[in-house]
Amino acid sequence: MRTPSSSRRRASRSLAGSRPDAGGGLGRRRFLSSLPVLGAGAALLGGCATQEGAVTGVDRVLSISLGQAESHPSYGSLVSFGERIAEATDGRYGARVYANNSLGDQQETVQLVSDGAIDMAVISGTQIENSSPRFLPMNVPGVFDDIDHQNRVMLDEAIVGELFASLEPQMRLTVLGGYTQGSRHLYTAQGPIESVEDLAGLKIRVQESEIFLRLIDAIGGVPTPMAYSEVYTGLQAGVLDGAENNEVSYVTQRHYEVAGHFTLTNHLIGFDFLLANTDLLEEMDERDAEALRAAWAETQSEFVEIWKQETEKMTAQMLDRGVTITDPDPEVFAPLIEEVGLSILEHPDDLALYEAIRAAAEGGDA
């Protein structure tokens, strides 16, 4: 089992050569270097729930980075994950969730988990795709029928087992699974958007990914890559005319305040992957590592129902707040979106994975 002191050694080693944050104050990296100490501190506090998002009274508090606000359901779900870990390991491990990208933007946290400076992080499918193109088929329009199909696939060892372990040798990253992002849609400051012409020339924020660039281009917009945390101000300042996401992120990030027209394009069902540092898992007692994985599988499946309820709740809130929701004619965007999906996979391995995922759909169509 890894002890707080050995993890402190490892974290300080991995942070040693890093550039200090500009701008003074408690820089992000200096803050990070205190993480393992927080774990030890929590143990000393003995059962006092003093840290937000943390299970305290455990020997080792695992850090989990999240890009979402505390109001997003993944935050509460990760806190429950920590509680499950604590219970299943008899208090040898717990977790603390760092929301709002406070440990770094998603792309940056991939490296920090790889280095062992953070134990786990939730990152969008696009970031994992940037680390390894083998994940591409998971992020393609039309690959999943619905979120139940997606969850089934993500828990199916025969389909994802090898892929989820594929980053271990080079990057020391283990994919434990993840959270559904549900269906993603488009939203704009001006609207409604009912046709390709309505979208012409509008700058739409996308995640930094080839699929999203192609998608927005195909439906008439001008794709504009930008980090998630900058979208609100981008829309507010008029640097962006719109963005794309699910209902839950749209509301929890308050994007409705600056882009009040929501268009149900259903362009793809996204996934947020949960990454863990492989050394951490290998250094844990085998039963504890197993317990952590089992706690995650339970958390992930439970989230699917939570997600459905939250999506309904957020849709109701959108209507209450005066958002215009447009459901365009399926003939307008769907064929263009489908074409992007079909054209993006070229490598035989990608096509094989795509087919395995499709075969796991309810009707089993490959």
Interface residue list for ligand GCU (CB under 6 A): 67, 106, 124, 181, 207, 228, 245, 249, 272
Which residue number, 72 or 261, has a Cβ lying nearer to ligand GCU?
72
Q: Assess contact for 143 and 341: CB atoms under 8 A.
A: yes
Which residue number, 67 or 220, has a Cβ lying nearer to ligand GCU?
67
Q: Which of 123, 142, 108 is nearest to 28 (CA)?
A: 108
Which residue number, 106 or 326, has a Cβ lying nearer to ligand GCU?
106
Which residue number, 198 or 244, has a Cβ lying nearer to ligand GCU?
244
Q: Assess contact for 167 and 132: CB atoms under 8 A.
A: yes
Least distance to ligand GCU from the beta carbon of 215, Å?
Answer: 13
Least distance to ligand GCU from the beta carbon of 180, Å?
Answer: 9
Q: Which of 116, 115, 114, 73 is nearest to 97 (CA)?
A: 73
Which amino acid is present at 66?
L
Least distance to ligand GCU from the beta carbon of 298, Å?
Answer: 20
The 3-state DSSP class for residue 253 equals: coil
Q: Which of 88, 284, 300 is nearest to 175 (CA)?
A: 300
| Cα(83)–Cα(56) distance, integer angstroms | 9
Least distance to ligand GCU from the beta carbon of 199, Å?
Answer: 18
Least distance to ligand GCU from the beta carbon of 249, Å?
Answer: 4
CA atoms within 13 A on the CB side of 89: 31
The 3-state DSSP class for residue 158 equals: helix
Which residue number, 56 or 249, has a Cβ lying nearer to ligand GCU?
249
